[in-house]
C-alpha cells in the first residue's frame, strides 16, 4: 500500500449523478476514508458540446446529499487542455505517436474508449518529412498512439489477472484534429499529475485499461492499482437504465428517501462486509470497507430493497425529525397547509409512532396512511367490498359509536371491551365490527391494531369517523359515491 492512498471520482457532466456513478464515488470515498487517504473530484468535461454547468452542479448536489465530501477539486479537464497537448507532443517526439490524416479518423469516436474502426490505414508509415509538410499545409490530422506488438497484462483487484493481445487493439487517438484530448489521454495525464494510486471504476472500463497502461509505460511511470466494480443491473438483469425507473440520485432525494438509507443501500451493491449485516452506518462502513469485499457478480438495483432500507432508517429517527419529514410530505402533496389545530406535536408523534414500523417511504404518509392526517380520505373499494357488505353493520356501527360516546373512559381496554360486549350481545363475531371499524377509521382493510388506531386518532376523531361510517352504511354509500 502506498504511503498515502489517493483515489478519484471523475464523472462527465453530460447528465446528472446517476446510481452507477454514485456507487463508484461512494466506493472511492469509503476506500480513501478507510485508509486515511485523499478523495479527489475531477470533472471530465472535454466533450464541450454535451457538458454543462447545470450538469456539474447536479453532480455536486448529489454528492453533497450523500455526504461524499471531497478533499481536492473539483478539477476541470477543460482547463487543462495545454497540459494534455504537451504530454501528447512528448509522445510524438519520442516516436510513440504519429499524425493520422485519415479523415482525422476517430475524432468524434474513441472519446470513452469506443473503437475507432481505423486499425488499418497508411498513416503510421508516412515519411516524417511528408507528414510534416501535410500538417504545415493545414491538412487536419489526429494524433494517434502507435500500439506496439505484444501483450498487456495487469492484476485487477476484483477480477484478477487480465491479459490482452495487442493485435486486438487499434492505434487509438490521443488528440482529435481540434486539439481536444480523447478520454484515454485525459484520464492518464490527470491520474499521473494527481498522483492517483488506485483507479476504482466500473467494469465497463476494463477494455480501456490496456490502452491506458500503454500510456503509463510510454511515459515511464508506475501503474496505479486497478479495481473494476461489477455493473449494476435492473431487476430484469439488464443494464440499469431509465426503463427501470429513476436512475438520477437526486430523483430519490426529491422522493423523500433518507440519504443515510440510500448510502447504506448503495454500499451493498456489489460489496459485502463479509457477514450477514445489512444495516451499517457510515462510520461502520468506513471501518470495514475493503476491495476484497467487492464481488465479481453484477449487482441488482431493486426499489423494494431500497424501500426496506429506507423503512429501517425511518423507524430509527428521533420523533422531531420524523415529525418534520412527515409534515414536509403532507404539505408537498397538499394534504396540509399547516397541521390541523388538533394535531399537537404529541398527537402527531403518537400517530407516527404507531405507523413507523409500516412506513417505508414518505409517500406512505400521504398515500396509504392519509386518513391518519386528514378527514379527506376515501374507503378503499376492495376493503369496502370485503368488510362493509354485511347488512347488519349499519345498526351495529351506529350503536358502537353511541356506546363509545356514553363511556367516559377512552383507553385501549375500554374501547376493546365495549366492542366485544356489543358483538357478544348481538350474536356476531367481534371481527365483523373490528374490520368494519378499521375501514371506517383509516379507509384501509389492513392497518395497525384497531384499538391502537383509536387512541392515536383520539376520542373526537374516532367518534366522528364511526358516525360517518354508520351513515354511509345506512345509506348504502360505502363505495365512495
Separation in Å, CA 136 to CA 39, 104, 131, 140, 384: 43, 15, 9, 10, 84
User: What are the two backbone dihedrals, phi and then psi, of residue 11, each rounded to the nearest 5 degrees?
Assistant: -75, 155
**DSSP one-letter code for 183:** H
Residues sharing a CB contact under 8 Å with residue 252, sequence separation 6 or more, in sequence order = 246, 262, 306
3-state class of 99 per DSSP? Answer: strand
The answer to whether residues 352 and 320 touch, using CB atoms and an 8 Å cutoff, is: no
Separation of alpha carbons 393 and 372, rounded Å: 23
| Residues catalogued as catalytic | 242
Question: What nine digits make up the cell of 311?
Answer: 423503512
Rg over CA atoms, the chain: 32
Separation of alpha carbons 94 and 214, rounded Å: 14
Q: How many residues does the chain have?
A: 481
The answer to whether residues 28 and 9 touch, using CB atoms and an 8 Å cutoff, is: yes
**DSSP one-letter code for 13:** S
Amino acid at each position: 500500500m502506498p504511503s498515502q492512498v489517493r483515489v478519484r471520482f471523475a464523472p462527465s457532466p453530460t447528465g446528472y449523478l446517476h446510481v452507477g456513478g454514485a456507487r463508484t464515488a461512494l466506493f472511492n470515498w469509503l476506500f480513501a476514508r478507510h485508509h486515511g487517504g485523499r478523495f479527489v473530484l475531477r470533472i471530465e468535461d472535454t466533450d464541450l458540446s454535451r457538458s454543462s454547468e447545470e450538469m456539474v452542479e447536479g453532480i455536486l448536489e448529489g454528492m453533497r446529499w450523500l455526504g461524499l465530501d471531497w478533499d481536492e477539486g473539483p478539477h476541470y479537464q477543460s482547463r487543462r487542455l495545454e497540459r494534455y497537448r504537451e504530454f501528447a507532443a512528448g509522445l510524438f517526439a519520442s516516436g510513440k505517436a504519429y499524425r493520422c490524416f485519415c479523415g482525422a479518423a476517430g475524432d468524434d469516436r474513441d472519446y470513452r474508449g469506443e473503437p475507432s474502426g481505423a486499425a488499418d490505414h497508411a498513416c503510421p508509415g508516412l515519411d516524417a518529412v511528408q507528414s510534416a509538410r501535410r500538417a504545415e499545409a493545414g491538412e487536419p490530422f489526429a494524433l494517434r498512439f502507435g500500439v506496439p506488438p505484444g501483450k498487456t497484462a495487469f492484476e485487477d483487484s476484483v477480477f484478477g489477472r487480465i491479459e490482452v493481445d495487442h493485435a486486438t487493439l487499434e492505434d487509438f487517438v490521443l488528440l482529435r484534429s481540434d486539439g481536444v484530448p480523447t478520454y484515454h489521454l485525459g484520464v492518464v495525464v490527470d491520474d499521473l499529475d494527481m498522483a492517483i494510486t488506485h483507479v476504482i471504476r466500473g467494469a465497463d472500463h476494463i477494455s480501456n485499461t490496456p490502452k491506458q497502461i500503454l500510456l503509463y509505460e510510454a511515459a515511464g511511470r508506475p501503474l496505479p492499482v486497478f479495481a473494476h466494480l461489477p455493473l449494476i443491473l435492473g431487476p430484469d438483469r439488464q443494464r440499469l437504465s431509465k426503463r427501470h425507473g429513476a436512475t438520477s440520485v437526486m430523483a430519490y432525494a426529491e422522493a423523500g428517501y433518507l440519504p443515510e438509507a440510500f448510502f447504506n443501500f448503495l454500499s451493498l451493491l456489489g460489496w459485502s462486509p463479509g457477514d450477514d449485516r445489512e444495516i451499517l452506518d457510515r462510520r461502520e462502513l468506513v471501518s470495514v470497507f475493503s476491495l476484497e469485499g467487492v464481488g465479481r457478480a453484477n449487482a441488482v438495483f431493486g426499489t423494494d430493497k431500497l424501500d426496506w432500507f429506507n423503512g429501517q432508517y425511518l423507524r430509527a429517527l428521533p420523533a422531531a425529525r420524523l415529525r418534520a419529514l412527515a409534515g414536509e410530505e403532507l404539505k408537498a402533496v397538499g394534504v396540509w397547509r399547516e397541521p390541523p389545530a388538533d394535531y399537537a406535536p404529541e398527537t402527531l408523534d403518537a400517530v407516527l409512532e404507531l405507523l413507523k414500523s409500516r412506513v417505508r417511504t414518505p409517500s406512505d404518509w400521504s398515500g396509504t396512511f392519509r386518513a391518519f392526517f386528514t378527514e379527506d380520505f376515501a374507503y378503499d373499494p376492495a376493503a369496502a367490498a370485503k368488510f362493509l357488505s354485511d347488512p347488519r353493520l349499519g345498526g351495529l356501527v351506529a350503536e358502537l359509536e353511541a356506546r363509545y360516546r356514553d363511556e367516559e373512559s377512552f383507553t385501549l381496554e375500554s374501547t376493546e371491551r365495549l366492542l366485544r360486549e356489543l358483538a357478544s350481545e348481538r350474536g356476531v363475531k367481534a371481527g365483523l365490527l373490528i374490520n368494519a371499524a378499521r375501514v371506517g377509521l383509516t379507509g384501509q382493510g389492513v392497518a395497525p391494531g384497531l384499538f391502537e388506531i383509536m387512541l392515536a386518532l383520539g376520542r373526537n376523531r374516532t367518534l366522528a369517523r364511526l358516525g360517518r361510517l354508520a351513515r354511509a352504511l345506512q345509506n348504502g354509500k360505502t363505495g365512495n359515491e
